Amino acid sequence: MGKDRQPRGQKKQGGPPAADAAGPDDMGPKKGKGAPKECGEEEARTCCGCRFPLLPALLQLALGIAVTVVGFLMASISSSLLVRDTPFWAGIIVCLVAYLGLFMLCVSYQVDERTCIQFAMKLLYFLLSALGLTVCVLAVAFAAHHYSQLTRFTCETALNSCQCKLFSSETFSRTFVYQDVTDCASITGTFKLFLLIQMILNVVCSLVCLLACFVMWKHRWVLHSLDTSH
């Protein structure tokens, strides 16, 4: 009888160590399952190694300021220039988009909107980036049209103005008058260079706005759909 009781005691003493050995094994897989999710959320909040939207917003701010400054310099050449030919308005809009993007950094950026403020700011930033893209494309179109006309102008100075004639294939010609211009070289040279700079700046700015829209669409729909599918 004594021999029968001794193995039973050994079984009871061996039970708790087996449970303790199983405990750490159960905790391991739970941590392993949570780690990829946290890593995916961290990657979703970055763009080119920077916290989104830091990089697009800084690029938009720099390009917007450059477009605005060049636009006002173009407007100072002649008082008769149209607003569409001096696209400072495009730079101002892009600067507003950049300021909103920088303000978004003060709010924790999440792929899934957890508050109404996050949803409103992300939606507004997406819409303004799309607006900035459209405005920059329009600025490029207006600058390219005026640049193509300047290449065919025949200009001469007359009465504190520069009169440029555009000869077409037909018998008549069109005359463009630039007021408050003492030398036509400022139109055919300086203003023409500014138009070329505006085209380059607005093309780059439109690409940055497109990048911002794409990254937000990717974070919101592509990554979110992958998470929900798993």
pLDDT tens by residue, 23-81: 444 444 444 444 444 444 444 455 555 566 788 899 999 999 999 999 999 999 999 99
Contact 202, 112 (CB under 8 A): no
Helices (H) and strands (E) in the chain, counts: 7, 5
pLDDT tens by residue, 132-155: 999 999 999 999 999 999 998 888
On whether the pTM is more than 0.85, the answer is: no
Whole-number CA gyration radius for the chain? 32
Can you give the residue ranges of every domain in the chain? 53-153+182-228
Contact 224, 110 (CB under 8 A): no
